[in-house]
Structure 1
Amino acid sequence: MPPESPIPLTPQSRTPKQPRLVFSAETFPESSVTPVFAFPPNRDTLGGTAYLIVRKDGNLLIDCPAWDENTRSFLDAQGGVSKLVITHRGGMGKVREIQEVFGCEVIVQEQEAYLLPNMAVSSFRESLSLASLAYGDMSEMQVIWTPGHSPGSACVYYAALGGILFSGRHLLPNAQGDPVPLRTAKTFHWNRQIRHVRKLLEMFNSETLHFICPGASSGLLRGKFAIEQAYSRLAKLDLEACLIQAATF
């Protein structure tokens, strides 16, 4: 007998997952926050989560979402991409294709710029302001070098809603939904990563860092894409205990 034909996909199962709205003026009516979207995990970046911040002075894409017609149509509908920040080398995905379509500025820390040969990129060393003076203070949005996970790992800070940190893989949620550095076999320099967690605690406080949007493991947030009460939860982390792991890993 011939093999049975596969069960046809239902219309619902063929429908691609859409980016989800994380923040907006509708969900936070007393604020003037512009829409922030989280994309579904991207296989090209080992399950990484990319984010889009929609702004009047040009949209900011943080890391690369899966690149297909659905993503392109969605980005087109939101007004395209003005800037694309890569938070670590694993978040590059189809960065070349995205730049070719939207003509966006690609921003990457200087130690990982060589991974994008024959591309126009803007590199930075310690930090870089991203916002336009026409739409707010230059400190309102910036990218901050936080090496450790990779040599050029970085976080993106957005001052809306009391402070949102897009942490890439520098900080990820654990099973309790708390932000933690995660050491793996591919971690570039664990002690340096811990030092830059401490640097973030020195840069911010409970009034300036309300949310962390991790660049992976968002499933541990149980349907959310942001860690709330971010600073106080990060401040509870035992950094000295983390450093001890360097001798036992």
Structure 2
Amino acid sequence: MTMTTALEPGRPPQQLRDDLWLFPPNRDCQGGSAWWLEATPEPVLIDCPLLTEATLKALRDLAGSRTPRILLTSREGHGRLRRLQERFGWPVLVQEQEAYLLPNVAPLHTFADEHITSSGLRLLWTAGPTPGSCVVHAPHADLLFCGRLLTPLGPGRLGPLRHGRTFHWPRQLESLRRVRGWIPSDAFPQLASGAGLGALRGERLVPFSGWSEAVQSS
């Protein structure tokens, strides 16, 4: 399907490592962050970036002849996903609680509690920020994409943040405890949040030791 509405030029994603790119803040998602991760045989786009000409070009270049998968960590990361998916036709994976929000997206796949992709990425349902929130652990890249479960609180610190859009606060805290036990005991992945990263003051990834249990409210 051809898009008829002109897109703004926008800015390309920032390459942070050989295998990782971060897209500019998405104002359609409260300034949220979308990530591209190289993985074999299937690279992934985690959450929806701001829809611009620069985004489309970058995604075409990064994908090449491959068919990536789009992973959604919560409804707050959907943005203008339908328009993006119409352009590329890439399959989308979302936790089943939030599949109803994407009625015109195909192919659309869902999971219930846990899922492992063909590239070995592990997904875990972490309800709380939204009903179908999830996190994505990439063992090969030593990264944990934590969606809105963990939000930047300051330089080098991520933690739970309670605000007006929070779906269920006690479940969010329980999900945090669950993730702690789900990550292998010998793994200390860097943390990549799906929220806005302004509080990190220029940092992008947070060390595992920067995971704060302190509860914050806004």
TM-score (norm. length: structure 1): 0.77
Amino acid at match of 1:45: C
The aligned counterpart of 1:128 is 115
Q: Distance in 2 between matches of 1:202 and 1:54?
A: 26
Is 1:225 matched up with 2:204? yes
Is the Cα contact below 8 Å between 2:30 and 2:196 reproduced in 1?
A: no
RMSD: 2.2
**Where do 5+ consecutive residues of structure 1 fail to align?**
1-13, 25-34, 133-139
Q: Select which of 148, 151, 167 maps to 1:188.
A: 167
**Partner-residue secondary structure (3-state), 1:57:** coil
Could you tell me how far apart the structure 1 residues matched to 2:155 and 2:204 are?
14
- 1:142 shift after superposition: 1.5
Aligned partner of 2:5 in structure 1 is: none
Asked if structure 1 preserves the Cα contact closer than 8 Å seen for 2:121 and 2:137, the reply is yes
Q: 1:1-249 maps to which residues of 2 (within 5 A)?
A: 16-24=10-18, 35-79=19-63, 82-120=68-106, 121-132=108-119, 140-161=120-141, 163-204=142-183, 207-228=186-207, 230=208, 232-234=209-211, 237-238=213-214, 242=215
> What whole-Å deviation, never above 9, does each CA across 1:109-161 have from its counterpart, x for those lacking one?
111100011322111111111134xxxxxxx3122111100000111110134
Residues 191-216 of structure 1, C-alpha deviations (whole Å, 9 max, x = no match)? 00000111111122563133000112
User: What is the number of equivalent residue pairs in this alignment?
Assistant: 208
User: In the aligned structure 2, how far is the partner of 1:48 from the partner of 1:164?
Assistant: 18
Select the structure of larger CA radius of gyration: 1
CA distance in 2, matches of 1:213, 1:78: 19
Once the 2 structures are TM-superposed, how far is the Cα of residue 15 of structure 1 from its aligned partner?
7.6
1:160 partner amino acid: H
* Bigger helix fraction: 1
CA contact (8 A) 2:43 2:69 kept: yes
Question: d(CA) in 2 for partners of 1:191 and 1:73?
Answer: 41
The alpha-carbon deviation at position 36 of structure 1 amounts to 0.8
Q: Specify the code of the residue in structure 2 equivalent to 1:196.
A: S
Helix, strand or coil at the partner of 2:70: strand
Cα distance in 1 for partners of 2:14, 2:127 equals: 29
Quick check: 1:146–1:152 contact (8 Å CA) kept in 2? yes
**Cα contact 1:111–1:152 (8 A) shared by 2:** yes
Letter in 2 for 1:96: R
Indicate how the Cα distance of structure 1 residues 17 and 171 shifts in structure 2: closer, same or farther if over 3 A, else same.
Answer: same
* d(CA) in 1 for partners of 2:91, 2:32: 21
1:148-188 Cα deviation digits (max 9, x unpaired): 00000111110134x21111111012124312011001111
Q: Distance in 1 between matches of 2:81 and 2:12?
A: 20
Distance 2:98 2:202 in 1: 32
Q: Which structure has more strand as a fraction of its residues?
A: 2
Amino acid at match of 1:112: E
Percent of residue pairs identical: 37
Unaligned runs of 5+ in 2: 1-7
TM-score (norm 2): 0.87
